[in-house]
Chain A
Amino acid sequence: MKKFVCLLPLIALVGCRPPAASVGDVVELRFWNGFSGPDGKAMEQIVRDFNASQKDVRVKMQIIPWSTYYDKVTLGIASRDAPDIFVLHSHRVPEYATHGALAAMDDFLTESKMGPKDFVPLAWGAGTWQGKRYGLPLDCHPLGMYYNADMFRKAGISKPPETKEEFLAVAKKLTQDTDGDGRTDQWGFAITDLHLVGSTLLFQYGASLLDKEGKRAALDTPGGREALGFLRSLVTEHKVAPETSGDDSWVAFQTGKVGMAFQGIWMIDGLERQATFQYAAAPTPILGPEKKVWAGSHILSIPAYLGADRQKAAWSFIRYLSDHSLAWAKGGQVPVRPNILNSKEFQDLRVQREFAKQLGYVQYEPSSPAANQITTYADIAVQSVSQGLATPEEALATATTRVNRVMERQ
């Protein structure tokens, strides 16, 4: 109860703050995002460049860690004190759009003569809801594979695996007891982020959180069960991955105890700074019958209640960001503008370019205002199976009941 009590004075307080003022003819805009890593530094540089490039609009950026970011943005929108431009993850857009919180951008795109031709086809749909555009995708971040190149070389493996058979063979070869004490101390693979790895496996086995109509769960299929069964078998049957998951697994990879791990592009900075070995990246191996991989996008949005002039100024900044996303790529991202992807400068980025190879077959999370809520249910299923607490059948049946219960209320 107390938490809700907190909300009231909070709204009262933020309501008292003066709106961001326009000084003279210069429109001052606030821009929020959660880029608290090295991506934030790249973004800061782009904002500085934008401010220097013209005299009409000044952007002030504020970085809020993702863990509290959405609460701040949402309360901001509810109290009409949100920033003029903010970043949303692609799967969150329908939730905000359906409540009329986001400004439609279709007219801006037409005016700027921007269209599908300027974007990677699969990323073009990100930021839309029910046929209208509520945000522009700045990038596309698919799940990719990092591998320990030193370990590969030592084991005589010449190229990263692409199929399930190759993946298992490599993983088995790398899983070793190096000091001869009878216990494995070098693992071929480690299950890192359960949401990303689980979603990718489900996609590759033809299962999805929601069916094509976006009405009911499509998780509990033979493919879905096989996907989660395969995930668990890496630990139990094939014995190529330790029991751990999440950050612990990633640390194990970072400290050279693991040969391969699937993670997002945003992890490269930590590797650059901390890895004591040669690492390399490759597209995520295709472990199921379908060639798919999980991906998301950072979407740039504008609050719906903003006046036309400010919306226009905000759009000019969004457009600048999109046009200059090469700088963003260098900060550790994959842009979605083909002209940038094909540029020599981008192709020189050895990790980003590997992740970008997957742009032709990425799969986004289902588009639904309830996406955030029902994703939790699938994640719990993946977690339960990967820890051996439930069979894939049990876990997916539970998740299906939960997802459908929420979807019936939509």
Chain B
Amino acid sequence: MRGRHDARAAVGFLAPFFILFTIFTIVPVLYGFWMSLHNWHILAKTPSFIGFNNYRVVLEDDRFWQALKQTTYFVALVVPAGNLVSLFLAIGLNQRYRGETFYRVLFYLPVITSITVLAVIWRWLYAPDNGLINHLLGSQIRWLDNVELVMPALALMTIWWGAGGNMLVYLAALKAVPAEILEAASLDGSTSIHRFFRMTLPTIRPAILFCVVLSIIASFQVFGQSYILTNGGPADRSLTVALYMYQMGFGQYQLGYASAVAYVLFAVVLAFTLIQFRVLRKSLQPD
């Protein structure tokens, strides 16, 4: 009797979320798949059904592969370096000194700032003639117009943007490392480097994997940085899959094709995530 009452209450509390989730996420996601099976120009009165033809064309589309290549490059730049930076910041903040909270807030601030605002700020930082970065380096490097430098430049900005988020996760994990064990080890004469690699790191391994998985998923969907700063240029060197999808959907108004690109990106991210879950599960098993 009581169980049923609880269940009803639970449904009541969950309903608002599920109704909105269904309307604004599940239905559009399924509708997007339906669109991807059509030659669907936004103005077409009756889009023609073409089955999986859009997917075939996406896979033959060299610009899509170019975008996937650049996106993967971006992921490779951002995920390892970004997580290292986050971990370093977390270790720095885990030292118990005055103003720890102040620095924590400071490092976290970019995370809650809109990418649009940050992109505009970084456009000035990267400016060739009067940008701060070139001023400090005493150079006139055209960061965002250079085919070799554009992706690293966007990655650097993204690392700065996102480091604070993972930093909090790492900080929480570091604080959960039992102090007694570390203390005992140091009494036994182990160095701090030794303690970090032999004790701290194995303990926070789940946090590392969690952060890496999430940052890979997020980095594959990179959009705002290149949309605002470079619009994919120069010569498609900063074209990402999400930006390509957007350009095909809005700009070209090929909604069916753009939906197909979105689903292929989804498949790529899903594949990466599944592989990581495997790795994650294995490494979480007690030795």
Residues on A lying within 8 angstroms of B by beta carbon are: 1, 3-5, 8-9, 70-71, 74-75, 77-78, 95-96, 99-101, 244, 248, 372-373, 380, 383-384, 387, 389-390, 398, 401-402, 405, 409
Contact = CB atoms under 8 A, between A and B. Distances in A.
B153 interface: no
A353 B63 CA distance: 42
Given A401-B62, A409-B57, A389 B43 contact: no
A373 B234 CA distance: 18
B235 A100 contact: no
Interface residues of B, number: 38
A1 B128 CA distance: 35
B32 A1 contact: yes
Given A4-B259, A373-B254, A383-B234, 16 more contacts: A3-B245, A3-B250, A4-B35, A5-B29, A70-B251, A71-B251, A95-B253, A99-B44, A99-B45, A101-B43, A248-B128, A372-B252, A373-B252, A380-B235, A384-B235, A402-B62
Contacts of B252: 372-373
Contacts, number: 71
Contact of B60 (A9, A74, A99, A405): A405
Contact of A4 (B63, B233, B255): B255
B245 A99 contact: no
Contact of A78 (B29, B43, B145): B43
A195 to B, nearest CB: 12
A74 B250 CA distance: 10
Label chain A's interface by main secondary structure.
helix
A310 to B, nearest CB: 20
Contact of A5 (B24, B41, B62): B24
A383 B246 CA distance: 21
Contact of A389 (B128, B147, B249): B147
Interface of B: 24-25, 28-29, 31-32, 35, 39, 41-45, 57, 60-63, 128, 145, 147, 233-236, 245-246, 249-255, 258-259, 262, 266
Given A1-B32, A3-B249, A372-B252, A409 B42 contact: no
22 contacts: A1-B32, A1-B266, A3-B245, A3-B249, A4-B28, A4-B259, A4-B262, A8-B28, A74-B42, A74-B43, A78-B42, A96-B43, A99-B43, A99-B44, A101-B43, A244-B145, A372-B252, A373-B252, A373-B254, A387-B235, A409-B39, A409-B57
Given A373-B252, A389-B147, A402-B62, A1 B43 contact: no
Contacts of A390: 235
A3 B29 CA distance: 11
Nearest to B146: A387
Shortest beta-carbon contacts, A-B, top 6: A99-B43, A5-B28, A384-B235, A383-B235, A373-B252, A1-B262
Contacts of B254: 373
Contacts of B251: 70-71, 372
A383 B259 CA distance: 28
Nearest to B32: A4
Nearest to B239: A380
